[in-house]
A = this chain, B = another copy of it.
Amino acid sequence: MKSAIDLIEEDDLEDLAVGCTVLAGGGGGDPRVGLLMAQHAIRNNGPVRLIQLSDLSADDLVVPVGMIGAPTVMIEKIPNGNESKVICKVLEKRLGKPVAALMPLEMGGLNGMLPVAWASLNRLPMVDGDLMGRAFPELQMCTPHLYGIPSWPGVLVDERMQSILIESSDDFWFEKLARTAVTALGGCGCAGFYPMTAEVAALPLIPNTVSLAIQIGAAIRNAEGDPFSALDQVIATYPLIRGKVVDVERRTTGGFVRGAATIEGLESDRGRVVRIEFQNENLIVLEDGKPLASVPDIITLLDLHTAKGIVTEHIRFGQRVVLAAFRSPEQWRSAEGLKVVGPRAFGHEIEYSPIEENYARIA
């Protein structure tokens, strides 16, 4: 899809937030707080230019940003906006050049919204794209990892303006050090990781995902009749079950929210039961012990009436939902990609099978 949007105005923010819940795969945090922050920032500082990497000079510094930690904490320990200024300042000092643009680390949930607020606050443009094409829970699960592009120097900042600048040439160590720091900071923190020049960023970028999220939100909002059809027009949607949440377990440990939810079928799906396992994001869907869908495909619970996404921390008993899946960005479907974000990377001993093939079997 080619970007048709080059400015994010206040009117686009609700659509972006809805799109972020759909692409999140249950993770990335509730976009609500980010929506309010982005509205406030744009009212005070004006709209955010949404640019392509080709609009920048090859050497320009692009900083992917977002919050890391447990989404259950993010909805209570909210950022104040100034963290983004410290992120820019620390990286500018370290790298010896000004930040030319921000971009989302991941396109999902809160982390699809915060970069808009932060871009507006810092009067910087935002690149239309991200490093996951969805949300994932760990830092090596960013596309630069596949190309050997370093995650460091990366910086964490909390609401007290405390900063932690981490340099490690091993992305798994980097994840461990950042996660530990975030836990010490109280469960979540604001981050700028994988700083890159525009030239380098062109390789790992998953393009136009910000526009895509806005288009998803607009399609659902403007739907005449079934919002799921409208959604399917923008992004191929594979509904797995219509049903009701009958069980949800959730625990916040080690800087993540982990757990599972059970959906019992309604209407034509009566009699079916599926189970979703999540670590921030929904990882795998099982029916009778067999996988229906798995990471890296995007698995999202959608509200049965509105088609808006439900992030894992908001799953509640009794919710009427459609559990849907969307195709993963191509980068993650390679053998290298699956090593990093396939089911085994999360401890699930199953083979990845693309959702469109699974769906052909069950539909």
**A94 CB within 8 Å of chain B:** yes
Q: Which of A175-196 contact B (CB under 8 A)?
A: 176-177, 180-181, 183-185
**A45 CB within 8 Å of chain B:** no
**A165 CB within 8 Å of chain B:** yes
Closest chain B residue, CB of each to CB of A184: B180
Minimum CB–CB distance from A238 to chain B (whole Å) comes to 39
Within 8 Å by CB of A181, from B161, B169, B181, lies B181
Contact string against B for A residues 282-303, beta-carbon threshold 8 Å, 1 for contact and 0 otherwise: 0000000000000000000000
Q: Once the chains bind, are A165 and B168 in contact (CB under 8 Å)? A: no
**A2 CB within 8 Å of chain B:** no
Residue numbers in B under 8 Å from A166 (CB-CB) = 162-165
Secondary structure of the A contact surface, majority rule: mixed
- Count identical subunits in the complex: 2
Q: Which of A150-181 contact B (CB under 8 A)?
A: 160-170, 173, 176-177, 180-181
Number of A residues whose C-beta is below 8 Å from B? 22
Residue numbers in B under 8 Å from A361 (CB-CB) = none
Closest chain B residue, CB of each to CB of A173: B162
Docked CA distance A42–B177 (Å): 34
Docked CA distance A184–B166 (Å): 13
Minimum CB–CB distance from A153 to chain B (whole Å) comes to 8
Within 8 Å by CB of A173, from B160, B167, B177, B183, lies B160
Within 8 Å by CB of A176, from B163, B165, B173, B184, lies B184
Residue numbers in B under 8 Å from A165 (CB-CB) = 163-167
Closest chain B residue, CB of each to CB of A176: B184
Docked CA distance A169–B181 (Å): 16
Docked CA distance A214–B166 (Å): 37
Q: Once the chains bind, are B167 and A177 in contact (CB under 8 Å)? A: no
Residue numbers in B under 8 Å from A90 (CB-CB) = 167
Docked CA distance A181–B166 (Å): 10
